[in-house]
Amino acid sequence: MNTLDLKQELIDRISRIDDVDFLNAIKTILDGKKKESFIKLTNDQEKELLKASEEGKKGIFIPQTEMDKKVEVWLTRK
């Protein structure tokens, strides 16, 4: 079954549902998916990500294992 067929089947099945709670549950699932697809960033956050991307391209970065160790230290501080 291709994407278009699957969408049409879901539309047909949803159109026959009269249970408001069930429809709200479906809406919650769809809303959750929408939120995962897009994150609104502030201008400062966007600038920071662009800066980090440029640094990464230049080889200026911390290996993940080293960053994991730093995070572990931060999390264990009181």
pTM, whole model, 2 decimals? Answer: 0.42
pLDDT at position 30 is: 87
- 74 pLDDT tier (thresholds 50, 70, 90): confident
pLDDT at 32 over 80: no
Report in angstroms the alpha-carbon separations of 18 from 2, 21, 31, 52, 59. Answer: 27, 9, 20, 50, 57
pLDDT, mean of residues 60-67: 90
8 shares its domain with 30: yes
62 shares its domain with 47: yes
69 shares its domain with 50: yes
Comparing 32 with 36, the larger pLDDT belongs to: 32
Number of domains in the chain: 2
47 shares its domain with 28: no
User: Domain range for residue 32?
Assistant: 3-37
State the average pLDDT for the chain.
Answer: 88
